[in-house]
Structure 1
């Protein structure tokens, strides 16, 4: 929500995507940026999970430990439908690298 940011920053924003504020917002934005509807956020999570699993050894090296890798994997898997808790939010910058793949 832009209203949460200082007004002096507004001129620097371009292509703002306003998505639902339900804890899935980071994944919703990614879905929109790749041309999908924001409701495809679960598919975005699934795609990232598949990438992590497929290249697990590589990501363990990137993240520095099995523990960090497992933390990110867990964050990609919500425990329920609807609003999600903050431990399932998009983790930056760790997921930023993952999204770029």
Structure 2
């Protein structure tokens, strides 16, 4: 298998996994697929553009990202757990 084919297969697997997550949370198939592709492709864009953001700017926007991608705001406990895992202390 060529490198391009392997990358494509990995992309398909990742999009399908994200899509299953959205379905698990009750999104219909088409919306789950659209949201999965939006999440995945935007993250690939961050990587391919070699985007570097100061964590002090990026981390406070995580909750907004979750809401934009899912249509639902994250719970405070979810954000707290995410921030703790990344050793980020939000400004008071």
**Fold agreement, TM-score > 0.5:** no
Question: Normalising by the residue count of structure 1, what TM-score does the alignment of the two structures yield?
Answer: 0.27
TM-score, normalising length: structure 2 = 0.29
| Higher share in helix | 2
